[in-house]
Amino acid sequence: MKTEAVERVAPFSIALDELVNRHPRMRFARLPTQIHRLNRLSEKLDCSIYCKRDDLTGFGLGGNKIRKLEYLIREAVDGGAEAIVTCGSNQSNWCRTTAVTAAAADLDVHLVLGGGTPDALTGNLILNARVGAHMHHLETDSDPELEAASEELTKRLNDDGIRAHRILMGGSNGLGTLGYADAFREILSFERNEGIGFSKIVVSTGSGGTQAGLVAGQVLSGWQGTIIGMAASRDTDAQERKVRTVLRRFDRFAGMRIAQSPLVTDGSYVGDGYRRRTEACEEAIDMFAKSEGIFLDQVYTGKAAAGLIDYARNGRFRADENILFIHTGGTVQLFE
């Protein structure tokens, strides 16, 4: 279904272009990622749904994190780093993508992983080991404790004469946020070229950087739609605070005032918490696989799709509007 694309005010688009292009990156991803209509799913849900395939970014099994790491790894290399240190859960997509991009840049990588020492390597852990990552397993699942351990490890490496560069979990700092500001440019380009205007964008939100980058792109371009962040692990208010924290980092980095912009998050589809399966998530995974041949994971995209489907069924999308679902990757989680 085509709707008239909203006209963009040139100065806003120029501001977004200048911000993204001002900062160098190390190219890993195959961009832009494709956007296509999900015809069968749209028919089932009686609305017009498109998908941006960031599961197909084309490096290290794809996913959204690669966009952030193009900037973050370049910053580390330019700063003379010899090693990267970051943290996440045992099956963190972020840590896997960091390991792969660091290896490609000839950097050593240390991953501080929560959740205890596994009995065997599975899923992302196998891939981390394949590219030579040093994995440091901790019993804690606490994000602040993992960040503190990551900071301590960075200090220890530097004290030992290894130039170590620490990156926050999820790459959700000011520079990393540029990755999805750039992705928003791709969405605007698709709208202009195809004459298809999106009224809502639905995306999984966890550490906050992906949604924050999209919001930055929205504000700088003057786009009039709504970005809905479906939380992977937190309630609605907690997730909003998380994203606003990242936006404040972005404001300090870029000299902007975006942190108090309108923000929509929804924690209704988290279930019992992070990595906990829900019936709605399982149904969404099945629907996408059987209708479109697209595989979602049970941690992030499955829960975001559960929200998308529930919104459609409950009349929160009009039949005459185009909805964009961003597939942020994470397919490796299916093999855990």
Cβ pair 230, 202 in contact under 8 A: yes
Dihedral of CA 67/69/71/74: which sign? negative
> What would be the CATH architecture of the domain defined by 10-62+173-335?
3-Layer(aba) Sandwich (3.40)
Q: What are the residue numbers of the active site? A: 92
pLDDT in tens, 311-335: 999 999 999 999 999 999 998 887 7
Asked whether residue 304 carries a pLDDT value surpassing 50, the answer given is yes
Instruction: Report the pLDDT value the prediction gives residue 13, as an integer from 0 to 100.
Output: 67
Calculate mean pLDDT across residues 212-236: 96
pLDDT in tens, 126-147: 999 999 999 999 999 999 999 9
In the chain, where the domains are located? 10-62+173-335, 72-171
Instruction: Report the pLDDT value the prediction gives residue 11, as an integer from 0 to 100.
Output: 38
Same fold, 10-62+173-335 and 72-171: yes
Percent of the chain having pLDDT more than 70?
A: 96
pLDDT in tens, 11-36: 346 789 999 999 999 999 999 999 99
Provide the β-strand partners of residue 202: 228, 325
Cα separation, 195 vs 187, whole angstroms:
12
DSSP string for residues in 129-143? HHTT-EEEE-S---H
The encoded tokens of residue 144 equal 């602040």
Three-state DSSP class for residue 233? coil
Q: What is the mean pLDDT of the chain?
A: 94
Calculate mean pLDDT across residues 213-236: 96
Q: Residue 25 region, left (φ>0) first, then alpha (ψ -120 to 50), else beta?
A: beta
Instruction: Report the pLDDT value the prediction gives residue 197, as an integer from 0 to 100.
Output: 96
Cβ pair 229, 191 in contact under 8 A: no
CATH 3.40.190.10 fits 72-171, yes or no: no
Instruction: Report the pLDDT value the prediction gives residue 9, as an integer from 0 to 100.
Output: 35
Provide the β-strand partners of residue 198: 322
Q: Given pLDDT bands bounded at 50, 70 and 90, which one contains residue 8?
A: very low
Instruction: Report the pLDDT value the prediction gives residue 171, as an integer from 0 to 100.
Output: 94
